[in-house]
Structure 1
């Protein structure tokens, strides 16, 4: 059989393993190892397995993953996410749809600490939904804003998605972080516009909340300064060049720990929970990366990237037509496969294809992350939707899916803007690194 046939069989086996519930990392390892045996022999496969495992876990830049995960867990335990939501609630809660808008703002702020969509959805779901329910918000808008807001976790830096993309493509983590800032703010704004439109058409979905005094607003803003300081130190330090991304992650984790101590929540129970969650999430991320780095050489040996690139080019769709086909494929696959897993599975093929057409690899990272975000809330298997369902079991799953549709359309609009105007993503990284 030709190498291409082995490659196709490898992908078929991979998706079969995922369909029967085999963990992504294990599936990647098995297919990559066995496929390399068929294409290059057992010795080459064994060398790839051992060498890539060691090379992955010893990459200095990857220390950013456990540090940012630790920072997010410390901040969540310290109650910083609740503080941000409360501040936004008191400032805009009196407006129509104000609590939903506060949820989006809270998710955006927490995303700048956790780098995780799932963590953002869980945390803000527990904080925001009881408040929206208390003020008689419609279930669609309440749950939709939580599920959609949670997706900001892999776009607004620090983003685990950007770190994994950077490692697999050998791009700069710092450039990718900077590239995510303006698109993240743009998507947040588009979500707020979506809320305004929904509540204008259906006022009962987001009734006005109570007015708060100026003193109460200032007090809530003061309590939210903790999260603002950490974001300013980490992202501002990276932008000014004062910190590398890894150093910024360490400093951010340290200040999050200080906040935990100052708020009297530095107990053994909390520290144990934070450490356990950090280790579990870090272990999962590194295991997937090891699997991806074993799977990628098999894909290269199969010559599938070259073959697919030649086939797609032969359709003569043009660069943007080809890009549209690829992004549409990601949206469809994202309905069934978790975003980061989909990234590590497909990147060995998609990255050389798209960059070979002349697209900027940093811009591509932002575009791919947004498309993966769309998958997180797309039916029938939007991961964030089921996360929100676990937090609010009294709401039907179809109600949540109906609630995310305005936000899904906002994502489409944001994606179109970034494709048409690439400088939205490239302005900050080019200004910082050129």
Structure 2
């Protein structure tokens, strides 16, 4: 059997394992290890397993993962993350669709604390869905706003998706974080505009919320100021060259713990739980990365990436058309495969082709993460939709999927804009003080 046939068989086995709900990391471990053993011998597979595990586990760059996750977990455990929603609620809640827009803004703020789409959707769902139900919001709009807003967690830095992409492609985490800022704000703005348009078109979708006094607005903004300050300090510190991403993560986590203790919201029990949750999430990310570094050499030995590259370049179409085919592949795969698994599976195949065509790898990283976001709300897998279903148990799953469709369209508009105007993503990293 040829190496390419073995590689193709390995990919089929991997997809079968994922469909059987085998954890992503374990499925990739099995296929990568066995594939390398077949193509290059068992000693090579054992050596690679040992070396890659040690190299990745001792990587200083990956310290950003547990620290940023801890920052988000502390903010969630102490209730400080809900202050972002409260501030947006007080300012724009009284307008039609205002509570849904406040939810999206709250998701964006929490994304800048946690880097997790699931955590953003779950936290903001618990905070906002009951309130929108109380004011008579259509469940399709309310659940759609939470599910779509939660996806901002893997685009607005600190993003776990960007960290994994950076490790897989040997790119700068700091530049990727900065590249996600403007696209994240663009997508958030599109979501808010979409909600306003839908509520103007059909006012019954999102009635106006309660009016708040000017004093209440300032009080809510003041309550969110410490959390906003931490966000601005961490991201601004990276942009200004004051902190490296690792240092920014340490500063952010330390400040969040300090604020929680200062406000007497962070007990020893809550801190311990936040630490345990951070360890579990970090271990999951590390296992996926180690498994990816076993799978990637297997794919290289099988020569599948070279074959795919030769096939696409042999079509005699423009570079932009090839990019469109790659992004369309991500959109299709996102309907069936979990985002991080898709990222790990496709990077060894598509990344060498993208760089050979002269596309900026940081810009391509942003495009890929946006497509991963779209996969988070695409049927039938749509992880964020199922997370929202856990909170809104009285809303049928079909209605939630109906609610996310307009937001999926807004994401497609953002993707087209990013392809057409790469500087939206590249402006901040290109002007970063080194």
- TM-score of the pair, normalised by structure 2: 0.99
Distance in 2 between residues matched to 1:282 and 1:360, nearest whole Å: 29
Partner of 1:101: 101
- The Cα shift of 1:433 comes to 5.2
Alignment partners' CA distance in 1, 2:380 and 2:362: 30
Structure 2 counterpart SS, 1:99: helix
What displacement does 1:51 show? Answer: 0.7
Q: Kindly report which structure 2 residues correspond to 1:315-330, keeping only aligned pairs within 5 A, or say none.
A: 315-330=315-330
8 Å CA contact 2:239–2:433 kept in 1: the answer is no
1:124 and 2:159 matched: no
Deviates most, 9-18 or 312-321: 312-321
Which residue matches 1:198?
198
Partner of 2:175: 175
**Which position in structure 1 is the counterpart of 2:429?**
429
Q: Distance in 2 between matches of 1:136 and 1:78?
A: 29
My pick for the range that moved more, 247-256 or 331-340, is: 331-340
1:300-332 CA distance string (max 9 Å, x none):
111111111001111223211111111111111
What pairs up with 1:194-273 in 2 under 5 angstroms? 194-273=194-273
Could you tell me how far 1:161 is from its partner in structure 2? 0.4
Q: Paired residue for 1:158?
A: 158
Alignment correspondent of 1:376: 376
Local SS of the residue matching 2:210: coil
Q: CA deviation at 1:77?
A: 1.3
| Equivalent runs, 1:28-177 vs 2, <5 Å | 28-177=28-177
Task: Count residues in correspondence.
Answer: 434
d(CA) in 2 for partners of 1:344 and 1:123? 27
Cα distance in 1 for residues equivalent to 2:44 and 2:318: 38
1:419 shift after superposition: 0.1
Is the contact made by 2:335 and 2:379 (CA closer than 8 Å) also made in structure 1? yes
- 2:16 aligned partner: 16
Paired residue secondary structure (2:165): helix
Matches of 2:232 and 2:49, distance apart in 1? 40
Distance 1:354 1:164 in 2: 18
Q: Is the 8 A contact 1:111 1:157 kept in 2?
A: yes
Say which SS state the counterpart of residue 181 (structure 2) adopts. Answer: helix
Structure 1: gaps of 5 or more residues: none
Once the two structures are superposed, residues 147-178 of structure 1 have per-residue CA deviations (whole angstroms, 9 ceiling, x without a partner) of: 00000000000000001100111000011011
Note the alpha carbon deviations across 1:114-137, whole angstroms, 9 max, x for none: 000000000000001011011111
CA distance in 2, matches of 1:396, 1:188: 26
Where in structure 2 are the equivalents of 1:269-418 lying within 5 Å? 269-418=269-418
Moved >4 Å (runs of 4+): none
Q: Is the 8 A contact 2:241 2:433 kept in 1?
A: no
* C-alpha RMSD of matched pairs (Å): 0.9
